[in-house]
Chains A and B, each alone.
Chain A
Amino acid sequence: MDEFDFARNVTVGQYVPGRSVVHRLDPRAKLGGFIIVLAAIITSDSYIGNAVGLAAAIGIVVLAGIPVGYVLSGVKPIIPILVVFTVFNFLFLGNYDPTGSAVLWRQPVALGPYEFNFTVTESSMKQTVQGVVRIIALIVLTSILTLTTTITGLAKAIELLLSPFRVIKVPGHEAAMILAIAYRFVPTIADELERLMKAQASRGADFGKPGRLRFIQRAKQMIPITVPLFVGAFRRAERLIMAMESRCYIGGHGRTPISLPALRRMDWAALASATVFTLAVWNFPWPL
């Protein structure tokens, strides 16, 4: 394992070129379909329904021809958060269960002057498990969206989806542009970070662990990285502004796309199957 190989662990924001069905879908249909499937995953209140949602997300990964392991490695960075989240939810959520479902386990704890209960109810257990499954499914879905869609395609799709809100003065084009620029620079900044860490390590900087609770030392270690990183980011932003202005960029008002292909049969089929899937997950009488 290489010491400074960051790009390897960043899956969100990467684009993996390919010729699969998922790659070839129109970005508008793809984004719409993903939102519909997402609705199924985050609203289903059964164990099996959630598992089916996760399975569907992984099924899309397989369909796109991208290694499942690579997509799942994007979950790795948030495992610590997931663990803390799960432990706390598991022990305490039952105390605030408004549904009045059956109590599975209750343990009063006295810690010095504090007294409280660990409570697990049927509904709190479900909430905890579903929370984890939903977050993983969410990351898998969003990764597969960016892994198979170019940034420009995605920006156009977002702009289109936001266009109905123009009546209430939502700047859809600007929002899409900001998003596209932010995405565009994730890999650039990651590269820059890697380069700076290597350069400073070559000058004797040590980015090893200074001990878990020594935040100040940790922050000090990072100054030789953060200062040039920000200086570079501002320089790059200025250059981008110059480039946009010299092309007479003025924003969304009155701009039209060079081509606006109609959705093909494949795109409608994808949207329809996403809708059918979601309705099925909602209405199926899951036993658990």
Chain B
Amino acid sequence: MSEPIVQVSGLWHWYLRGTPLQTVALQGIDLEIQSDDLAAIMGHTGSGKSTLVQHFNGLLRPHRGSVRVFGSDLSDPKLDVRPLRRRVGLVFQQPEMQLFDPTVGDDIAFGPRQLGCTPEDVRRRVRTAMERVGLGFEDFKDRYTFGLSGGEMRRVALAGVLALEPQLLVLDEPTAGLDPRGRRQLLDSLRAIHADGGMALVIVSHDMDVVGEMARRVFVLAGGKTVMRGGVREVFSRVEELRELGLGIPQVSELAYELRKAGRDVRADVLTADELAEALWTSSTSPAT
């Protein structure tokens, strides 16, 4: 059963509102997220992606328009947003910067302890969260946080949010600055977490390969507006429009696009290397046929 959990309509937001430095960040965003969604929000730097997702757990309130998250209206100034923050886990850009506790286990336990969980429950949540991101509980729980590698620290930070057991997980540029192995491990973990069910996933990124690999639905932002939306294959087949916006498409799709332009008969909605190989093999211009 899928139902809408986030509904954004006509959302406007200004930075430094009421000062001479005021700038508009969002100008009329429309978007909705379903309870079993695997969505991506794309857009280049300054398009308002990060500002938008900070509305999902009430860090920012709408200046105009409406945001409803799990049925709560964020325009209501009396709304207590704290219960919302347990249900919506927000992982910021470079989340390894927010670690503060000397040991890994205690840092991940920060969230559950704030929620007032019993010690047994805290332990269970930390263990589950660590295993979900591929950090062995016994191996890592007493390790020194600031002695970990960058990729490990990022997984600790992700576990710290997962330990809240949210129903919606939002990740802002989750793979930025990771090496290929760290990136692969992180994406595999995320895919497994979503496959376990019970959690909607929203990935904010300008890395087309991450979006193409992970997302089912895509929202494209530009200049604080929602300019494109739809299934991932549909959006990535609108190559010219995306290029116009300063965005690209996944490398594999790009290759398929160039081959098609060069007169080869290749499907338009190729996203992965395997799909491209298959498309080339079965195409009418293939030497195999």
Q: Which residues on A are within 8 Å of B, measured CB to CB?
A: 2-5, 7-8, 14, 16, 66-67, 70, 195-196, 198-206, 223-224, 227-228, 231-232
Given contacts A2-B60, A4-B59, A224-B110, contact A203 B164 (CB under 8 A): yes
Which residues of the other chain, A, contact B161 by a CB distance below 8 angstroms? 202-203
At the interface, yes or no: B44 with Cβ under 8 Å from chain A? no
Most buried by A among B97, B99, B111: B97
B59 partner, pick from A196, A202, A231, A232, beta carbons under 8 A: A202
Known: A202-B90, A206-B82. A3 touches B59 (CB 8 A): yes
Q: Is the CB of A67 within 8 A of B114?
A: no
B97/A232 in contact, CB under 8 A: yes
> Any chain A CB within 8 A of the CB of B19?
yes
* Pick from A5, A66, A224, A231: contact of B20, CB under 8 Å: A66
Judged by a CB distance under 8 angstroms, whether B54 is at the interface is yes
The verdict on A206 contacting B114 (CB below 8 Å), with A16-B21, A66-B20, A67-B20 known, is yes
Identify 17 residue pairs between A and B in the complex whose beta-carbon atoms are under 8 Å apart, listed by A's number.
Answer: A3-B59, A3-B61, A8-B17, A196-B97, A200-B98, A202-B57, A202-B91, A202-B161, A203-B110, A203-B111, A204-B110, A204-B111, A204-B112, A224-B110, A227-B100, A228-B98, A231-B97
B287 is an interface residue with CB less than 8 A from chain A: no
**CA gap between A202 and B114 in the complex, in Å:** 11
Q: Is B18 an interface residue (CB 8 A)?
A: yes
Contact mask for chain B residues 106-135; partner A; CB cutoff 8 A; 1 contact, 0 none: 000011101100000000000000000000
Q: Report the interface size for chain B: residues with CB under 8 A from the other chain.
A: 32
Q: Are A198 and B114 in contact (CB under 8 A)?
A: no
A4 to B16, CA, bound (A): 11
* Complex Cα spacing A206 to B98, Å: 15
Q: Does B89 contact A (CB under 8 A)?
A: yes
In the A-B complex, the 9 residue pairs with the smallest Cβ-Cβ separation, listed nearest first, are A204-B114, A227-B100, A202-B90, A199-B98, A203-B111, A204-B111, A199-B92, A224-B100, A198-B59
The docked-state distance in angstroms from the alpha carbon of A200 to that of B89 is 11
CB-CB < 8 A to A206: which residues of B?
A: 82, 114
Given pairs A67-B20, A204-B85, 20 additional interface contacts (CB within 8 A): A4-B60, A8-B16, A8-B19, A16-B20, A70-B20, A195-B92, A199-B90, A201-B59, A201-B85, A202-B90, A203-B161, A204-B110, A204-B112, A205-B114, A206-B114, A224-B110, A227-B100, A228-B99, A231-B146, A232-B97
Q: Interface SS of chain A: helix, strand, loop or mixed?
A: helix
Give the distance in Å from the alpha carbon of A67 to the alpha carbon of B19 in the complex. 8
Residues of B153-167 whose CB lies within 8 A of A: 160-161, 164
In the complex, which residues of chain B have a beta carbon less than 8 angstroms from the beta carbon of A228?
A: 97-100
Q: How far is the CB of B119 from chain A (nearest CB, A)?
A: 16
Cα A202 to Cα B95 in complex, Å, equals 11
**B141 interfacial contact with A, CB 8 Å:** no
The answer to whether A196 and B98 touch across the interface, beta carbons within 8 angstroms, is: yes
Bound complex: CA A195 to CA B91 (Å): 11
Q: How far is B17's CA from A128's CA once the two chains are assembled, in angstroms? A: 35
Which of chain B's residues 249-289 have a Cβ closer than 8 Å to chain A?
none
Known: A2-B61, A8-B18. A204 touches B95 (CB 8 A): no
Residue of A nearest to B22 (CB): A8
B18: chain A residues at CB < 8 Å are 8
B61 closest partner in A (C-beta): A2
Q: How far is the CA of A223 from the CA of B114 in the complex (A)?
A: 13
**CA distance in complex: A2, B14 (Å):** 11
Q: Which residue of A lies closest to B21 (CB)?
A: A16
- CB closest residue in chain B, given A67: B20
A110 to nearest B CB, angstroms?
48
User: Is B217 engaged at the interface, CB distance under 8 Å to the other chain?
Assistant: no
Closest to A18 in B: B20
CB distance from A198 to the nearest CB of B (A): 5
Query: Nearest B residue to A14 by beta-carbon distance?
Result: B21
Cα–Cα distance between A196 and B100 once the two chains are bound (Å): 11
Q: Which of B7-37 contact A (CB under 8 A)?
A: 16-21
In the complex, whether B225 has a CB less than 8 A from a CB of chain A is: no
Contact digits for B80-107, partner A, Cβ 8 Å, 1 yes 0 no: 0010011001111001011110000000
Q: How far is the CA of A47 from the CA of B235 in the complex (A)?
A: 70
A4 to B112, CA, bound (A): 23
Residues on the B chain within 8 Å of A204, using CB: 82, 85-86, 110-112, 114-115, 164
In the complex, the chain A residue whose C-beta lies closest to that of B56 is A202
Q: Which residues of chain A are within 8 angstroms of B54 by Cβ–Cβ distance?
A: 198
Structural contact, A70 and B98, CB atoms closer than 8 A? no
Q: Which residues on A sit within 8 Å (CB–CB) of B17?
A: 8
CA distance A5 to B15 in the complex (A): 9
**Inside 8 A of A227's CB, which chain B residues have their CB?**
100
Q: Roughly how many angstroms separate A176 CA and B146 CA in the complex, as a whole number?
A: 34
